Structure formats: structure tokens, C-alpha cells
């Protein structure tokens, strides 16, 4: 079955246009509610959201859908995506839902679903839900006496704050560490600064004034320049920037220089290995991770396993092959000893633990390897099979030949936007840039 709604990370699109309409959200709630209704017990679903204006439209539509299928709805309001996953398990709920378009601007929104185990749904389950949405569930609506109820969980923030703090080493504090935290005016704007403050840090708060429109706008992990400048201006020891739903993170050292997800995974892997707590003999990343990370791990006797792009594919491989560390270059970092999905705050806390223990500057401990030159460009297209066209295939083959054995070329369609991503890396920076530019130019001529 061709998937109409679900992409790389749930359902995503422009708010109040298909597929992100109230009508579709209602049908998602009804179909997912039917799929996860198993047994005679009263079923529950946890619903969280970020700070987008359209959340006020999507949340009640989903709520109505679940209630119509006899599910009780637990509303937690603006909360990080990993908090929803954690609460789904903690509350023994049958399903978890996060309303967010992650790092996209406020005009977009999305729906992410978690099973009762707190993990994102598999492709097969998403296809089954789409089938139910297409076929209709009106004949299986609950009787009036069996309709669900909606309640608001008043202490949701406190539960996640304690969970996050408990991932930090016992007996260790962040005293004497000055931290800039940029919450992207998003879901973590309350909980992330509170966790850092309660662990003893001096906290400089950035991106903590959401108004429904400013999420991810010139802030957060996808636009960290403001955070980096605040680090330099305030004389902070470290800067942390999460995205709108706080499932990804990037970090700046005391000079304002950035550390991406690859550097953070290398640092955490080495820390776990020294303590004999790294499972699987390496880590799991995606095709986007830098070749420098792979070479660095090999030099330490560790290995890197690559999956297709999308943190849920990383998690699936980790679960099936016994790894406890994985993630993406963009900053999705999964520590399965603590969480079932990427958690920007928890990942930052592991980095802070290394820094606090070492007693050295972040610039000294955080830059584990020299990344290979890498170029990444995105280009919009009007759908179709542009990558299968003869001239495009010829340009790709020419790029692969030019890079040879010393580099990599990756071209893929985005799972969240109508764009083609073109990425190349290798030892020769000039060659890498030229290969990407040449392929993008050819795609542009044929993309429509």
C-alpha cells in the first residue's frame, strides 16, 4: 500500500491544509484509537504538543477522535516529544501522541504516534492506520455510555523534570557551570531551564517566550547562531540549543564553536566505553553522519552502523541488534538506557556529566575528531521521479566517480518536505562542493 499520510517522522504538513486539517486529525484519532483498542480495559492515550498556534486546532480534533472510540485522553500541554514517550510508558497508556512539526516553522504542524512501549510506530502499523482511515470506522464507534473522557495531567512537567534529572549521575551537580539554554520558543521552554537550574547550574535562558508564531524562528538547534553569540556575550561555559519539540540538540563550547550530533555521539560513546557501558561494540547512525566519525570510531576499536535517515530507523536497529547509543548528525541522540526516542535534554546532560567530571573546558573534551569536508544542499521539486531521469542519473554517476573511494555521495528525497537532499563528503573540500553544485544544477533544470 502506498502511504498517503505518514512520512519519515509521522504525519507533517502545512497547518489547516491537507493532511494537517482538523478533519484528518479527527480521522487519525479514530483510526489509531481503533487499532490500539485491545482487550476489555478502559484505554488511555497521552496527547502532548509544542507551542504552535495550530496546536489549538489539532489537539481537540484528535481528542474528539479518540473519545469517539471509547479512549480516555490525558492532555499534558506543551511538552517535549521524549516526555510524551516517557509518560506513555509511565502512565501505562495504550498510545501516545505528539503534535509537532519538530524543527519546522510555525506554519507547519505534525502528528507523531507512540505505541504503549513508548517507541515510535513501525511502517507496518502506520500502514494499518492509514488503511483504517481510508476505509472508515463509523460502524465501530463507541456507544454513548462507552465514550471516553478527557483530563489534564497537572503535574506532567514535574514528572519529566524528575525523569531527566535522574539520568544525570547521582552525587554530581552542575555547580560553577554557566549554561546558555535555547529552547527555540518550543515545547521545552519551561522544563529544560528548570532541570539545569535544579542541578545547580547558572542558567541563561534564550528562546523561552513562545507566542504561537516564533517557534524555531532564528533560534534553536537549526539556527544556533543566537545561542552561540549569547555564550560569547555572557562568558558561558557551554551553550545548548534544542529544536521545537526538543528531541534534537546541538552544543556550543565556551568560544561559541558548534558541536553537532556526530561529535556528541563520539564523546558519549567514548565515555560509555571507558565505563564498560557501551553495548554493541559501537553505535548506530544514519547515512548522513560524517565519514570522520566512522574513521574515529574505527581508531578506537568501535564500529558505526548506518541506517536510512530517520531516528526511528536508528532506534529499530538499536533494539534489534543490542546497541544502547545511536542518533543523527542533526542532533537526534538516542540513549536507550534512559529513553525510547531522541531526547535533546537528556543527551545534553550526558555531555555535561563528562564536562563536569573532567573539569576541563568543553572545547578541550568535546571535539573528538576532525570531520571530513561535507556539503549538503536541498532543492524543491514538484514530486514525481526526478531522480530517475537520465540526465540526473548521469550527473549522480559522474559525482560518484569523481569522489571515488575517498568520499561518499548521498541523494534522497526528504520524508518531511517536498525537497531533494544532495550530500557529498570527502577529503577534497573543493571537489566535494563542485560535485554537489553540479548535481543540484541538473536536478534544478528537471525538477519542475
Active site residues: 102
Q: Is the dihedral of CA 138, 142, 145, 148 positive or negative?
A: negative
Give the total residue count for the chain: 448
Beta bridge partners of 176: none
Rg of the chain on CA atoms, in Å: 22
Nearest to 407 by CA among 421, 423, 390: 423
CA-to-CA separations, 304 to 102, 150, 268, 331, in angstroms, rounded:
26, 44, 14, 16
What pairing do the DSSP bridges indicate for beta strands 150-152 and 72-78? parallel
Distance (Å, rounded) from C-alpha 135 to C-alpha 137? 7
Per the structure block, which three cell numbers stand in for 217? Answer: 524562528
Distance (Å, rounded) from C-alpha 443 to C-alpha 447? 6
DSSP character string of 218-287: T-STTSTHHHHHHHHHHT-SEEEEE-TTSS-EEEE-TTS-EE-HHHHHHHHHHHHHHTT---TTEEEEET
Q: Does residue 150 come out as left (phi exceeding 0), alpha (psi in the -120 to 50 range) or beta?
A: beta
Distance (Å, rounded) from C-alpha 437 to C-alpha 423? 10
Q: Which residues contact 166 (CB under 8 A, 6 or more apart)?
A: none
Per the structure block, which three cell numbers stand in for 109? Answer: 504542524
Q: Which residues contact 242 (CB under 8 A, 6 or more apart)?
A: 80, 181, 182, 183, 184, 186, 188, 192, 220, 221, 248, 249, 344, 345, 348
The single-letter DSSP state of residue 95 is: E
Longest dimension (CA), the chain: 69
How many CA atoms lie within 13 Å of 257's alpha carbon, on the beta-carbon side?
A: 9
Segment (H or E) for 434: helix 429-446
CA-to-CA separations, 309 to 7, 35, 141, 288, in angstroms, rounded:
11, 27, 37, 7
Q: Which residues contact 159 (CB under 8 A, 6 or more apart)?
A: 86, 87, 90
Per the structure block, which three cell numbers stand in for 95? Answer: 498510545
Amino acid at each position: 500500500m502506498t502511504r498517503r499520510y505518514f512520512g519519515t517522522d509521522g504525519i507533517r504538513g502545512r497547518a489547516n491544509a491537507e493532511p494537517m486539517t482538523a478533519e484528518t486529525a479527527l480521522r487519525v484519532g479514530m483510526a489509531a484509537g481503533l487499532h490500539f483498542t485491545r482487550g476489555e480495559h478502559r484505554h488511555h492515550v497521552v496527547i502532548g504538543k509544542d507551542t504552535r498556534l495550530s496546536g489549538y486546532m489539532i489537539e481537540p480534533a484528535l481528542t474528539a477522535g479518540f473519545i469517539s472510540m471509547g479512549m480516555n485522553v490525558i492532555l499534558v500541554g506543551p511538552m517535549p516529544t521524549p516526555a510524551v514517550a516517557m509518560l506513555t510508558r509511565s502512565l501505562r497508556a495504550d498510545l501516545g501522541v505528539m503534535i509537532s512539526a519538530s524543527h519546522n516553522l510555525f506554519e507547519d504542524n505534525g502528528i507523531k504516534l507512540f505505541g504503549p512501549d513508548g517507541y515510535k510506530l513501525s511502517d507496518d502499523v502506520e500502514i494499518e492506520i492509514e488503511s483504517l482511515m481510508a476505509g472508515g470506522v463509523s460502524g465501530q464507534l463507541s456507544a454513548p455510555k462507552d465514550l471516553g473522557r478527557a483530563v489534564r495531567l497537572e503535574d506532567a512537567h514535574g514528572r519529566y523534570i524528575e525523569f531527566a534529572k535522574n539520568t544525570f549521575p547521582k552525587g554530581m551537580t552542575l555547580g560553577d557551570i554557566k549554561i546558555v539554554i535555547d529552547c527555540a520558543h518550543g515545547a521545552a521552554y519551561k522544563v529544560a531551564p528548570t532541570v539545569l537550574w535544579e542541578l545547580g547550574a547558572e542558567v541563561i535562558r534564550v528562546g523561552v517566550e513562545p507566542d504561537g508564531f516564533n517557534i524555531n524562528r532564528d533560534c534553536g538547534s537549526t539556527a544556533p547562531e543566537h545561542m552561540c553569540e549569547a555564550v560569547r556575550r555572557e562568558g558561558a561555559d557551554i551553550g545548548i540549543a534544542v529544536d521545537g519539540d526538543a528531541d534534537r540538540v546541538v552544543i556550543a563550547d565556551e568560544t561559541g564553536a558548534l558541536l553537532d550530533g556526530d561529535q556528541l555521539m563520539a564523546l558519549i560513546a567514548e565515555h560509555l566505553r571507558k565505563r564498560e557501558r557501551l553495548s554493541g561494540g559501537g553505535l548506530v547512525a544514519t547515512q548522513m553522519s560524517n565519514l570522520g566519525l566512522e574513521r574515529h570510531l574505527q581508531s578506537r576499536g568501535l564500529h558505526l552502523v548506518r541506517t536510512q535517515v530517520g531516528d526511528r530507523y536508528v532506534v529499530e536497529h538499536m533494539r534489534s541488534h543490542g546497541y544502547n547509543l545511536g542518533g543523527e548528525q542533526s542532533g537526534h541522540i538516542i540513549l536507550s538506557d534512559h529513553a525510547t526516542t531522541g531526547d535533546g535534554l537528556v543527551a545534553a546532560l550526558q555531555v555535561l556529566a563528562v564536562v563536569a567530571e573532567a573539569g576541563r573546558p568543553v572545547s578541550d573534551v568535546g571535539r573528538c575528531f576532525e570531520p571530513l569536508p561535507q556539503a549538503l544542499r536541498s532543492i524543491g521539486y514538484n514530486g514525481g521521479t526526478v531522480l530517475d531521469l537520465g540526465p540526473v542519473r548521469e550527473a549522480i554517476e559522474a559525482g560518484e566517480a569523481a569522489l571515488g573511494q575517498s568520499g561518499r555521495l548521498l541523494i534522497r528525497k526528504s520524508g518531511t518536505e517536498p525537497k531533494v537532499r544532495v550530500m557529498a563528503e570527502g577529503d577534497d573540500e573543493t571537489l566535494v562542493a563542485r560535485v554537489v553544485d553540479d548535481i543540484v544544477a541538473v536536478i534544478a533544470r528537471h525538477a519542475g
